[in-house]
A and B are shown apart, each in its own frame.
Chain A
Amino acid sequence: MPQNADNVLDHFELFRGPEYQRMLAEKKQLFENPVDPAEVDRVREWAKTEEYKEKNFERSALVINPAKACQPLGAVFVAVGFERTLPFVHGSQGCVAYYRSHFSRHFKEPTSCVSSSMTEDAAVFGGLNNMVDGLANAYSMYKPKMIAVSTTCMAEVIGDDLNAFIKTAKEKESLPAEFDVPFAHTPAFVGSHITGYDNAMKGVLEHFWDGKAGTTEKLVRVPNNKINFLGGFDGYTVGNLREIKRIFGLMGVDYTILGDASDVWDTPTDGTFRMYDGGTTLEDAANAVHARATISMQQYCTEKTLPWIAGHGQEVVAFNHPIGVAGTDEFVMEVARLADVEIPDELAKERGRLVDAIADSSAHIHGKKFAVYGDPDLAYGLAAFLLELGAEPTHVLATNGSKAWAEKMQALFDSSPFGANCTAYPGKDLWHMRSLLFTEPVDFLIGNTYGKYLERDTGTPLIRIGFPIFDRHHKHRYPVWGYQGGLNVLVTILDRIFEHIDATTNVPSKTDYSYDIIR
């Protein structure tokens, strides 16, 4: 009996003992009708080949291990970034349970969100009653200042009309007529979570700027000097937005962050649960129409929102999740230009420190090959940083990346000698990536938690950057934007490289000569 009260063994060790190993071997042999081990080996080796890769890349219907989620997840992300705003997803309730779990597993924080709990009768008759009752309940129970409505695919397939439903709910006094209920249709069968971010953000701004669904006058823009900032769907939103605020503070920029979840996803443990915390005030969301310009940190998260804002007379600028020196330079200079401020010496100093750190360490990164996957903007930003470090982002993959994204990636590759052998893969998934890692191996892989399966199967060391990160804690608290963020990314990459070097040079009297104390 391996178990012991003084040294309790859990799943990490318990099953490795002889009792369990024997039991599991017998289970397999007697009852599982297992495949002949030689056949398993044959197929495992075949799945590493060029031939398998070709078949893998031929598939057009099956998607395996995609690096994307569905629209309403992005809509919930947007909603929790506004002051006392309750996300309300119209449709099946299981979806909401999934979004809440997904965010909580990443941020290690509560995520409040309600559903209209539509079932079979709503599938037949439509979900109007669910909307009417749901808004009334949510309003009285959770005392929100705003309820931001989006949809699951069920409501979209049956064609529920959010605008009409919300109007009816107000007529039926579910909530006061003047209560803010922005909405966005967010069908899961179109785009991905970044599309949902785009639709929901546009929905909120449209509500405030364009007359609250025909119930008030449209706002008349009186330009001021403020700058609006859109972060896009971002797993690092807590650390990133705090860093952006610090940078804007240093620069003296008068700004509005549209959608700021950095407080609600980082509340203290002090005896009180804060269902709402921080967020963009509704007043600021409305007044954002008057801003001089709007910056989007992630072009592909704001493909509709940004042109729509431009249509209101603002200058708009989009970045692709800038990471590193040149990306941050461009960002900071654009901010300075748009806000008409000087870039303070303090930022120049921070920049110098990042350059200093790169100079100190780049020998360990230079010439290394990387595979990168993630949302299209993040993948772009990371690839750009790798090029800056003298590394080669050999495979860059975005399941929710478009052809236009791939072209933009190619232009980036073409801009650097280190991009010569690099390829962008739009619309591909992590099973495609698996083939690539076998047929055209790289030194390191950058991606989210699910990359650990690729690390296990292909032996490519994983550097965890992306969303979701479920199996490492608190990474979202550290920015990846700004010069400071660039330093964090650099250190994250370096740590993994050094760990890998140590782990592959630690066999006594075999590889120990490279097991250096100074690197």
Chain B
Amino acid sequence: MSVSNVTDIAEVKARNQALIEEVLEVYPVKTAKKRAKHLSVHEEGNSDCGVKSNIKSVPGVMTIRGCAYAGSKGVVWGPIKDMIHISHGPVGCGQYSWAARRNYYIGTTGIDTFVTMQFTSDFQEKDIVFGGDKKLAQVIDEIQTLFPLNKGISVQSECPIGLIGDDIEAVSKAKSKEYDGKTIVPVRCEGFRGVSQSLGHHIANDAIRDWVFDKMGDKPAPFEPTPYDVAIIGDYNIGGDAWSSRILLEEMGLRVVAQWSGDGTIAELEATPRAKLNVLHCYRSMNYISRHMEEKYGIPWVEYNFFGPSKIAESLRRIASFFDDKIKEGAEAVIAKYQPLMDAVIARYKPRLEGKKVMLYVGGLRPRHVIGAYEDLGMEVVGTGYEFGHNDDYQRTAQHYVKDGTLIYDDVTGYEFEKFVEKIQPDLVGSGIKEKYVFQKMGVPFRQMHSWDYSGPYHGYDGFAIFARDMDMAINAPVWKLAPPPWKKPEDDAYLLAAE
């Protein structure tokens, strides 16, 4: 039977349940039992998505997840542009993550800005055997000689550091003292810690707390505070996302005193405890520091979603609700200002995209946050899952985003994802570089939803126009009609999956 065009919700649920049963059959019994807990069909009204999450990946299954180092260096710390981040350990980790995440920034790279550079202690066997602390000290000295305008240094630990018993904290303290109290941050984000990138985010947040906030004491803000000061937390400025978000907050009358961490600086990190409100985009990677600032400095925080006009308007109003009428009116003015643009974007692209089905598998906030943007274009997200979500992510997803019957897959394996897509045949898959070509080979349009497929920004009103254009360009590209050779009959083999 055709499984691709079921519309009745009971049928959808039955199909999705059957699909889950089917993929589990491939596993050894023990693994099937484990994986079963991560796959589910969403039931409307439930408070979460019915999956276990933030659990160790099963060995050998081709998880798509990364590691704590990726979460700390790659996500949280790497974009802080005026600091130098040392990939401390062997050469590989820094090499593969070198400039790969499109954290846009402005600065003179190599002189006062260092984001797209790879600094490594390049561990050799002798460093493993005798320890790397002396080398780290020397690395810091050499950085000070060659990059005198750096504003701080972070030490991003790779796997061996925690295994050979190095004391990077002691080295960092000693060097900080030697260099007049310079900010030097040791980060214990060894790749084997935790089960995914997620613990790396947490460790990186804690390092900011312990080595940036606690160190600065009661240093006064470098600017005159205003009642409208906010900080953008959890926007990595991929393709310029934080910029197309910032412009809206400023247009509504707020003043953005810090960006965490895309296009961010150590000065902005230090200024954040003076903000009146922290606005949090990527809850997963930066809720920890937001909670800390709430507890310690009494700064409230609010989650927002800047994907697609519906969620943007909702978010602008929610953010404004923390302020006076001036800001509330400002929010309304911003919404009204961009309404004609949004109407025009939707008028242009919705007819080309309406009814198209999407499957997502991403990290952070995107498995839920982008759903509204697709819906604004008349599209439907029929499956979604998190690389490294926790239960609070799945709760938010269930309560505010997914529809009844949506297929949910946590820490999906390559095999599962491929089978799900093969059977459900969405019109678009949104995931990462490792998945992109798998699905394109299958003839399924694809957009990378980590890097925006080298496009962007997607945040904010300006970003939504780009998002709509890109989804249209993926789905309606003429190439997909070319995939099956015209002389092959559909029944020949898998050429036309829809014919199943």
Contacts and interface: CB of A to CB of B under 8 A. Distances in A.
Interface of A: 1-6, 8-11, 14-15, 19-20, 23-24, 27-28, 30-35, 39-40, 43-44, 47, 52, 55-56, 59-66, 68-70, 72-73, 88, 91-95, 97-102, 104-105, 108-120, 122-123, 130-131, 133-142, 152-154, 157-158, 187-190, 192, 267-274, 431, 434, 450, 453, 457
Contact of A274 (B433, B441, B443): B441
A3 B462 contact: yes
A59 B344 CA distance: 57
A32 B106 CA distance: 11
B146 A56 contact: yes
Contacts of B159: 91-92, 152-154, 157
B440 A269 contact: yes
Given A63-B121, A158-B163, A189-B90, 9 more contacts: A4-B341, A11-B239, A40-B108, A60-B142, A92-B159, A95-B92, A97-B65, A137-B61, A139-B60
Given A20-B247, A94-B66, A104-B437, A70 B95 contact: yes
B351 interface: no
Nearest to A1: B341
A31 B31 contact: no
Contacts of B128: 157, 189
Nearest to B244: A14
B496 interface: yes
Nearest to B246: A23
Interface residues on B, range: 35 or more
B361 to A, nearest CB: 13
Q: List the 7 closest pairs (A to B, CB-CB), nearest first.
A: A94-B67, A70-B92, A134-B59, A134-B60, A98-B96, A33-B267, A5-B344
A369 B256 CA distance: 49
Contact of A69 (B27, B65, B95, B195): B95
A268 B90 CA distance: 36
Interface in B120-135: 120-125, 127-128, 135
Contacts of B28: 136-137, 140
Given A28-B106, A108-B437, A157-B159, A55 B145 contact: yes
Contact of B442 (A122, A152, A271): A271
Interface string B456-500: 110001100110110000000001000111000000011111000
A56 B142 CA distance: 9
Contact of A73 (B92, B244, B246, B455): B92
Interface stretch (B109-117, B174-182, B287-295, B318-326): B109-117
B283 interface: no
A142 B437 contact: no
A94 B65 contact: yes
A88 B60 CA distance: 7
Given A69-B95, A157-B128, A1 B338 contact: yes
B114 to A, nearest CB: 10
Nearest to A14: B462
Contacts of A28: 106
Given A105-B100, A189-B160, A119 B494 contact: no
B124 A189 contact: yes
Contact of B441 (A91, A154, A267): A267
